[in-house]
């Protein structure tokens, strides 16, 4: 292109002969011609095109007629770049456009490819904008890989939705028949048989939980889990969460406490998802705290902007080196086959993703032997005032 540029009949163009070019244009043209990445310089009011060898590959049959010619007359069918971004750059802005689909004429035919395009003002030696420099970085392969990955994740979510339905039906039957036997519908049962039936039901519930977790995580990953964000009153929600875990806590001889005033406090969130996150934190706290321990649910408003909901226990705690990985999917700190607690290792991964999808976060502080404190942070909702009674 450098050869073409030096032998080109510039006299017939609006920018004239190179000997008369302003220093700014000469410097910009030299920079473009020497650059290894695709670049085009559009100089002057009519956007006369000077491009390099890499950019030429994108021009196909347009080359060489459009070299040194104004954009408008060379692209009567419409310029393959974006005129709006060109105008912004001409007005002094540096514009970056990702995933721009550009028609290119690489193999003779024109086809679409994806690029990251940079439009920046090109100035003369006095600092006055006289043109626009466009740099093009092709991302077609990356975009195709991303499209493929997205559709694979989607296919996985669809497959798991079908699988979960297929698994749920026999599992529900197992639970249902176990219950019938427990109720004595098929005749009296011995205490040993009752114990066995309880274990069958516990196993059935556990499997249903695993299916729910895997499905929820896959949906979150595929971005197809719907969030209905509204003002959620915390008082009722936390009371319900406590009621739901009270039996398990009692059975394990754990004290369940509430701290901090929540009267009228509301968060902007999806009520069902917040409840799911808090229940998951409470169930972990119960699981990992020995009898005699205390579990506290606290609530604190921060500068009227956000609300921290804490679930603190006095349990076994988590080592500093494991603190971040507990939020990774399928991670259990005690991952040995002999571990004493069941679970999929998905609860916290799901909970953090849900919190983040609602514009909040889930964090943890812990000390081995002293306990753990998980904090769900969410944006403040509109305060709810109780009517005077
Ligand atoms: P799981 O369903 O296996 O409990 P989670 O994602 O909920 O999966 O938790 C991951 C791991 O984090 C747990 O297996 C446990 O090792 C650790 N963990 C979670 N909550 C607590 C807690 N309150 N105290 C101690 N360890 C915890």
Residue 242 CB contacts under 8 Å (≥ 6 apart), including other chains: 256, 258, 282, 297
Lowest mean pLDDT among 56-65, 203-212, 246-255: 56-65
The structure tokens listed for 107 are 């193999």
Residue 59 CB contacts under 8 Å (≥ 6 apart), including other chains: 51, 66, 104, 105
| Residues 195/198/204/207 CA torsion (nearest 10 deg) | -80
Among 206, 285, 347, say which to mutate for ligand 1: greatest number of ligand atoms within 8 Å of CB: 347
* 311 Cα–ligand 1 center, Å: 13
Residues with CB under 6 A from ligand 1: 284-285, 288, 313, 315-316, 318, 326, 331-334, 343-349, 372
* 250 Cα–ligand 1 center, Å: 20
Beta-sheet pairing, 306-313 with 266-269:
unpaired
Cβ contact 134:97 at 8 Å: no
Q: What is the DSSP letter of 383?
A: P
Ligand 1, atom 12, lies closest to the CA of: 326
Among 312, 345, 362, 371, say which to mutate for ligand 1: greatest number of ligand atoms within 8 Å of CB: 345
The structure tokens listed for 168 are 């749920």
* 187 Cα–ligand 1 center, Å: 41
Q: What is the CA radius of gyration of the chain?
A: 32
Ligand 1, atom 19, lies closest to the CA of: 284
* 362 Cα–ligand 1 center, Å: 13
| Angstrom distance (rounded) from CA 291 to CA 311 | 17
* 337 Cα–ligand 1 center, Å: 15
Q: Please, which residues bridge with residue 372 across strands?
A: 366
Q: Which atom of ligand 1 has the smallest separation from the CA of 213? A: 2
Total residue count of the chain as it appears in this document: 389
* 334 Cα–ligand 1 center, Å: 9
| Cis-peptide, bond into residue 64, ω within 30° of zero | yes
* 228 Cα–ligand 1 center, Å: 27
Between residues 49 and 144, the one the model is more confident about: 49
Q: Is the pLDDT reported for residue 109 higher than 80?
A: no
Between residues 333 and 278, the one the model is more confident about: 278
Q: For the chain, give percent helix, strand, coil, nearest 5.
A: 45, 25, 30
Q: Which atom of ligand 1 has the smallest separation from the CA of 315? A: 24
pLDDT band at 388 (very low <50, low <70, confident <90, very high): very low
What percent of the chain stands above pLDDT 70? 94
| Angstrom distance (rounded) from CA 346 to CA 213 | 6
pLDDT of residue 108: 61
* 169 Cα–ligand 1 center, Å: 29
Among 211, 252, 284, say which to mutate for ligand 1: greatest number of ligand atoms within 8 Å of CB: 284
| Angstrom distance (rounded) from CA 66 to CA 112 | 19
Give first-to-last CA distance, the chain, whole Å.
84
pLDDT band at 337 (very low <50, low <70, confident <90, very high): very low
Query: pTM, whole model, 2 decimals?
Result: 0.64
pLDDT of residue 329: 84
pLDDT band at 341 (very low <50, low <70, confident <90, very high): low
pLDDT of residue 267: 94
């Amino acid at each position: 292109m450098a050869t073409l540029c030096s032998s080109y009949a510039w006299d017939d163009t609006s920018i004239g002969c190179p000997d008369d070019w302003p220093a700014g244009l000469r410097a910009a043209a030299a920079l473009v011609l020497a650059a290894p990445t695709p670049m085009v310089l559009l100089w002057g009011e009519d956007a006369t095109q000077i491009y390099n060898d890499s950019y030429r590959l994108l021009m196909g049959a347009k080359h060489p007629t459009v070299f040194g010619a104004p954009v408008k007359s060379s692209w009567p069918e419409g310029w393959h770049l974006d005129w709006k971004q060109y105008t912004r750059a001409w007005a002094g802005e540096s514009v970056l456009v990702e995933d721009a689909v550009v028609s290119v004429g690489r193999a003779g035919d024109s086809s679409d490819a994806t690029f990251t395009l940079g439009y920046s003002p090109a100035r003369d030696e006095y600092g006055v904008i006289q043109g626009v420099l466009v740099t093009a970085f092709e991302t077609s392969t990356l975009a195709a890989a991303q499209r493929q990955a997205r559709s694979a994740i989607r296919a996985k979510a669809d497959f798991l939705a079908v699988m979960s339905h297929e698994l749920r039906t026999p599992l529900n039957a197992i639970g249902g028949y176990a219950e019938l036997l427990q109720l004595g519908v098929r005749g009296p049962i011995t205490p040993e048989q009752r114990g066995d039936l309880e274990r069958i039901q516990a196993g059935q519930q556990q499997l249903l939980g695993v299916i729910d977790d895997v499905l929820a995580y896959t949906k979150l990953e595929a971005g197809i889990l719907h969030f209905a964000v509204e003002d959620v009153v915390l008082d009722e929600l936390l009371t319900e969460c406590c009621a739901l875990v009270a039996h398990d806590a009692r059975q394990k001889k754990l004290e369940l406490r509430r701290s901090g005033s929540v009267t009228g406090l509301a968060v902007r969130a999806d009520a069902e998802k917040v409840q799911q996150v808090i229940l998951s934190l409470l169930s972990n706290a119960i699981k990992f705290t020995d009898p005699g321990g205390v579990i506290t649910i606290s609530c604190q408003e921060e500068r009227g902007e956000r609300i921290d909901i804490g679930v603190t226990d006095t349990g076994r705690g988590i080592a500093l080196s494991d603190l971040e990985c507990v939020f990774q999917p399928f991670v259990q700190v005690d991952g040995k086959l002999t571990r004493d607690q069941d679970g999929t290792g998905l609860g916290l991964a799901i909970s953090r993703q849900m919190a983040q999808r609602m514009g909040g976060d889930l964090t943890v502080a812990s000390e081995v032997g002293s306990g753990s404190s998980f904090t769900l942070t969410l944006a403040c909702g509109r305060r709810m005032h109780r009517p005077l009674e």
